[in-house]
């Protein structure tokens, strides 16, 4: 049974003014406290083992599902909590603070669900969303291919209509939580002549005939979150599992990223905050030359710089999530800025945390080396930070 604090904490909406701002409500603050308590008690104790063994964090999944935190943005009419996008960021941030791999459970559910929430028919939403809201299923997002990463519009996966079915052929790569998820939102070409306007979006179930999950990638970080290719070998799905109208899939994919890039920023903020917390405590306890590290001004300045950037990244992500919740036009700049700045911050802060801990930081006795490895991916997925800078520049110059 889900705890009453968690249930009430997610029934929230963003408070905003004419000045494009936001305010964390009492419910947002209660949500943060509830997720932090859960993360510290039920996720953090397993984080090192999850990383060491490269295993899926089942303890985190079970704890998040029990509390109702696995996909808080699902509307109430589909069995969800009905939380806003800022609440979704807070959940991801607080889980990432103790375990980057585990934060990809709510993070990737949100990514996979967003195309459905934005563009799917009510009938398709009814097919998919209740199972995720109940914690019976997870959902992954399948856009990238080996030769269509940053240039996603050049994808080769095809879908053709045959009677009451769509038949898919091709391969998607870098699919987070593939093999663990039940549902997959998939982009495929339905009309090659129309290029980006010939791409459509579909929902695939793991038991659909012709759907095959590939081997797990060997990665630098986020070892507990499996990343695999998925293959479509004359995979057949019912015709009603198309998301929106034929040819609108790429537009849906781009709109999705406007909503979900702040969640990658939130993951990065959480990882950075976790490293900052460890470094701060270590500086208070570790002694050199008869003083604690906290008494050396040079190290104080490092710590202050880290904390300043983490807080700036947090505020940027929250503003972006609040604007996305309101479906404001021209979200591209703020969403890319949030993801880019927060992930660059996470990489710098986790690297500095390792430096502050010295030799101890380079060992697995402390979590900062894991956090540094986990932080790197936030600069790459959902669009590399070079792509984010291109998006921002185009928005400025158009």
Task: Decide if 368 contacts 279 (C-beta within 8 A).
Answer: yes
Given 229, 325, 369, 382, the catalytic residue: 382
**H or E segment at 232?**
strand 227-238
137 token code pair: 């299923």
Task: Decide if 124 contacts 352 (C-beta within 8 A).
Answer: no
Helix ranges, the chain (H): 4-9, 26-38, 44-53, 58-67, 85-96, 100-119, 122-133, 249-285, 297-325, 332-357, 368-377, 385-397
Q: How far apart are CA 47 and CA 26, in angstroms?
A: 29
Distances 281 to 99, 195, 327, 394 between C-alpha atoms, Å: 18, 54, 40, 42
Q: Is the dihedral of CA 218, 219, 224, 228 positive or negative?
A: negative
Does 382 qualify as catalytic in the annotation? yes
**H or E segment at 170?**
strand 165-176
362 token code pair: 């380079």
Alpha carbon 369 to its chain centroid, in Å, reads 21
Nearest to 10 by CA among 103, 269, 29, 22: 29
Three-state DSSP state, 230 = strand
Q: How far apart are CA 210 and CA 169, in angstroms?
A: 9
* Residues 6 or more apart in contact with residue 370 via CB below 8 angstroms: 47, 48, 51, 100, 221, 364
95 token code pair: 């889980």
Task: Decide if 131 contacts 137 (C-beta within 8 A).
Answer: yes
Give strand pairing partners of 211: 232
Residues noted as catalytic: 382
């Amino acid at each position: 049974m889900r705890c009453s604090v968690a249930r009430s904490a997610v029934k929230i909406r963003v408070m905003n003014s004419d000045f494009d701002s936001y305010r964390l409500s009492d419910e947002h603050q209660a949500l943060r406290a509830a997720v932090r308590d859960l993360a510290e008690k039920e996720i953090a104790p397993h984080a090192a083992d999850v990383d060491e063994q490269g295993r899926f964090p089942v303890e985190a999944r079970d704890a998040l599902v029990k509390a109702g935190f696995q996909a808080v943005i699902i509307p109430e009419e589909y069995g969800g909590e009905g939380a806003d996008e800022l609440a979704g960021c807070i959940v991801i941030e607080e889980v990432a603070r103790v375990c980057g791999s585990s934060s990809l459970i709510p993070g990737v559910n949100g990514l996979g669900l967003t195309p459905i929430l934005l563009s799917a028919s009510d009938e398709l939403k009814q097919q998919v969303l209740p199972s995720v809201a109940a914690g019976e299923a997870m959902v992954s997002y399948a856009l990238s291919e080996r030769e269509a990463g940053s240039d996603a519009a050049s994808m080769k996966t095809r879908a053709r209509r045959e009677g009451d079915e769509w038949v898919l052929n091709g391969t998607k790569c870098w699919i987070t939580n593939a093999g663990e998820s039940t549902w997959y939102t998939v982009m495929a070409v339905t009309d090659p002549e129309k290029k980006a306007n010939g791409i459509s979006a579909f929902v695939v179930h793991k038991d659909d005939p012709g759907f095959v999950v590939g081997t797990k990638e060997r990665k630098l970080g986020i070892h507990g979150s499996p990343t695999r290719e998925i293959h479509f070998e004359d995979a057949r799905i019912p015709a009603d599992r198309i998301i929106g109208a034929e040819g609108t899939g790429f537009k849906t994919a781009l709109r999705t990223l406007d909503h979900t890039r702040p969640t990658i920023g939130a993951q990065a903020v959480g990882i950075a905050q976790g490293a900052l917390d460890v470094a701060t405590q270590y500086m208070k306890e570790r002694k050199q030359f008869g003083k604690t590290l906290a008494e050396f001004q040079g190290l104080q300045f490092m710590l202050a710089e880290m904390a300043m950037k983490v807080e700036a990244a947090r505020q940027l992500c929250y503003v972006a999530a609040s604007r996305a919740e309101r479906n404001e036009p021209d979200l591209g700049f703020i969403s890319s800025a949030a993801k880019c700045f927060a992930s660059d911050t996470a990489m710098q802060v986790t690297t500095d945390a390792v430096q502050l801990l010295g030799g101890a930081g380079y060992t697995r006795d402390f979590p900062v080396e894991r956090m540094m490895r986990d932080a790197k991916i936030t600069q790459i997925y959902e669009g590399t930070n070079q792509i984010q800078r291109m998006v921002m520049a185009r928005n400025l110059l158009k």
